[in-house]
Amino acid sequence: MNNYSEKLSKELTKYAVHHKNKTNILIHTYTIPLIISTTSVFLSYIPLPLFQNLSVLLFMIYCGYYHYLDEKLSMELNMYMFGLMCLGYLSTFLNNYITYNFLIFASCWAGQIAGHKYWEKNQPVFMQSLVDSFTIAPVFSYIHLKEDYAKLVLHIDNFQNKNLSNSNSNIPNPVDTNAEDAAGPGDVKKKNEAKESEKLIHTEEFITGTGVDSKKNN
């Protein structure tokens, strides 16, 4: 949390105290975005004169609050929240989308409550502070999603590098033909003459039997 502002670090620390178990962190990382997305669908049915609906007004409040907490990270957080709202909007093209959103909303909340009861063994944050539950929770999930994405990218890179090294090890070493070219025509001619003379010597020894006798005498 050292990379964040003092205000945001303080709020994240308060929230993280209640979320230490890995399973509970995993549950919150992936259920919080779905809760935000489905909630934006429900709030879009509440019209407002200046902001079209309550969902748009809430998004603007989030943007202002995150800018107050951390100016550098606020752009990422606002884009994150906007993307979740767009996800909720896309769900409205489905048949019976209200039913689907409600089921997702209820199951995500049930998952979070179960995470605190059976794994974290403490009370959910919304039992103590509704503000932290609805403002810092999205930041918490966004940070952990970024970490999971970075781990996934690193795993893919390591896997690709491993396969590349294995494929390179199966490729035979090429014959260096440039060495003979660099030696010059005179050196190549001498090598060829030496090979021919060795062949003649071996042939003469085989015919006369001198090589065999000399080996026996030795």
Pair 66, 122 in one domain:
yes
Q: What is the pLDDT of residue 218?
A: 45
Same domain, 208 and 108: no
* Same-domain pairing of 53 and 117: yes
Clarify whether residues 86 and 139 are in a common domain: yes
Name the amino acid, one letter, at 67.
Answer: H
**Is 157 among the domain residues?**
no
Considering the domain architecture, whether residues 18 and 123 belong to the same structural domain is answered as: yes
More confident residue, 161 or 188: 161
Q: Which pLDDT tens digit goes with each residue over 71-101?
A: 999 999 999 999 999 999 999 999 999 999 9
- The pLDDT of residue 127 is 85
The answer to whether 43 and 56 are in contact (CB under 8 A) is: no
Domain contains 1: no
Q: Which domain holds residue 22?
A: 6-149
26 domain residue, yes or no? yes
Q: Are residues 133 and 208 in the same domain?
A: no
CB atoms within 10 A of CB 180: 12
Give the burial string for 104-125 (b: 16+ CB within 10 Å, else e): bbeebbebbeebbeebbebebb
Q: Is residue 43 a part of any domain in this protein?
A: yes
Look at residue 216 in the predicted model and tell me its pLDDT: 47
Rounded Cα gap, residues 155 and 150, in angstroms: 9
155 within domain boundaries: no
**Same-domain check for residues 95 and 198:** no
Q: How many other β-carbons are positioned within 10 Å of the β-carbon of residue 134? A: 17
Residue 129 has pLDDT above 80, yes or no: yes
Nearest Cα to 59, choosing from 70, 74, 73, 72?
A: 74
Evaluate whether residue 170 is within a structural domain.
no
Total domains, the chain: 2
> How crowded is residue 141: how many other Cβ atoms within 10 Å of its Cβ?
22
Cβ neighbour number for residue 208 with a 10 Å cutoff: 10
The pLDDT score that the predictor gives to residue 117 is 95
pLDDT band at 159 (very low <50, low <70, confident <90, very high): confident
Same domain, 113 and 211: no
